[in-house]
Amino acid sequence: MLNGYKQLNIDNTYFITGGAGFIGFHLSMALLEKGCRVISFDNLNSYYDVNLKHSRLELLRSYDNFSFIKGDLANKEDVKEVFTLYHPDIVVNLGAQAGVRYSIENPDVYIQSNVVGFFNILEACRHNEVDHLVYASSSSVYGANKKIPFSTEDKVDNPVSLYAATKKSNELMAYTYSYLYGIPATGLRFFTVYGPYGRPDMAYFSFTKAILEGKPIKVFNSGDMYRDFTYIDDIITGIVNILPNPPQPDENGAPYKVYNIGNNKPEKLMDFIETLEQCLGREAIKEYHPMQAGDVFQTYADVTDLMNDFNFKPNTLINVGLQRFVEWYLDYYGK
């Protein structure tokens, strides 16, 4: 484990971008439950159902230590205002335009949100001393890497989508700011996160909706794909462990680190669908399609560093996680 491994400091102020998003919501809830002060920032865009984002915020607003600011990461003044008003100790950048396939159709928004927006966060951290910047990267940076499991030691120079390229850019930008200005920065490569209050654009969510409505689901590459599905509670535990523990300087003097957070157990897409069918008690109507541009055959996380530094690895079984999601879905949508 890390030398001097620390527990969460509830006296800190935590600034979470993408705070109305899936991971941002769950992280905010976890921190608020511990008594932390959380400043949430989100532009509430319409990439998916805004009502779901408002439902998440409604739950968070019941906590006295919660504040929400509607703003745009790509607007430098919006970001500066938060730092001026709240002086956050810890910054967690989860705000980004998500989705691999959507990045092919709408590239502009990815550059604005994921590159310009992250630059604005880095500049704010540069001019306002923070204890730790933690930011979301993605397993997509590994591209079509055939070496498995994916290790943070692997080269990630061949992204196969613009979304992946923006996440790789974030890692490079964060390292540079860490090196030049001593900003303690940790990047988190998330692997296919799922669970209650999740993103409707994700396969498990859209599959559930289609199965319940008796509509066909699109199965790409004839189902011959593997994903390291990671339950949201495991993701949040990993983040909460990391927040109070900024990285030690590397050989160049940069206090910088990257972790994979994945289940370390890839599931075949067809097995995943079968498990979802069992949870729903219904069989899916399947339409088989070729691999889509920007998709990859497999994701598989090596979480050795996470285990070594925090004695933790994600471990929620897919049948357990999907059952919890289905129960939430049926309750939320009144099915």
CA 252 to CA 150: how far, in whole Å? 24
* Environment class of 114 (CB within 10 Å of its CB; exposed 0-12, middle 13-18, buried 19+): buried
Other CB atoms closer than 10 Å to residue 292's CB: what's the count?
13
Neighbouring residues of 31: CB distance < 8 A, sequence distance ≥ 6: 8, 14, 38, 240
User: Among 57, 66, 54, 61, which residue's Cα sits nearest to residue 14?
Assistant: 66
What strands, in cross-sheet order, belong to the sheet with 132-138?
66-70, 37-42, 13-17, 90-93, 132-138, 185-190, 256-261
- Across 71-112, the runs of DSSP E, i.e. the strands, are 90-93
First to last CA, the chain: 45
**Interhelix angle 76-86/117-127, nearest 10 degrees:** 30
Catalytic site residue from 102, 135, 163, 197: 163
* Environment class of 75 (CB within 10 Å of its CB; exposed 0-12, middle 13-18, buried 19+): middle
Residues 322 and 204: beta-carbon distance below 8 Å:
yes
| 163 is annotated as an active-site residue | yes
User: Among 99, 141, 120, which residue's Cα sits nearest to residue 15?
Assistant: 120
CA 146 to CA 253: how far, in whole Å? 32
> Which tokens belong to 57?
């915020």
The residues carrying an active-site annotation are 163
